Amino acid sequence: MHLEPERHRSPTISLTPLIDVVFILLIFFMLASRFGDWKDLPVNVLPSEASEQRQDQDQDWLTLTVTADGQVEMEGERYAVSDLAERLQGRDATVLITGEADAPLQAALATLDAARAAGIEDVQLELMP
């Protein structure tokens, strides 16, 4: 019986798994990306002197203060953010939303949404850092 010695082949690196991984990553990043338009939210980080002077000169300003517990103070009374839209309904004023030092940002943004839902178009948001 004649047995031939086995020839040693040099190992080759297959590129097929690498190509599969690249396509999987490509599909993942395509699905995870957002291609929508970003909407800017105008925010004044610090109240400027010009806005304070403007508030003193204009009598149609309505100041809403977001408290640390997430409620909104308007004209000396506290309201929940959910009740704010019906309280502001029919008002024709420029709304200035301010916040206390430890007021949650989510409550300030919910206040902004409630003011816009009530039909008030001129809403300014001023927050302290």
pLDDT in tens, 59-101: 578 888 898 888 899 888 888 888 888 888 888 788 888 888 8
Domains and CATH numbers, the chain: 57-125 (3.30.420.270)
Determine which helix (DSSP H) or strand (DSSP E) holds 119, and give its type and residue range.
none
Q: Angle between the 81-88 and 105-117 helix axes, to the nearest 10 degrees? A: 30
The CA distance from 104 to 110, in Å, is 10
Query: CB of 107 within 8 A of CB of 66?
Result: yes
**pTM value > 0.85:** no
Separation of first and last alpha carbons in the chain = 89
pLDDT in tens, 50-60: 455 554 554 57
Query: What does each C-alpha distance from 41 to 12, 44, 125 come to in angstroms?
Result: 56, 10, 9
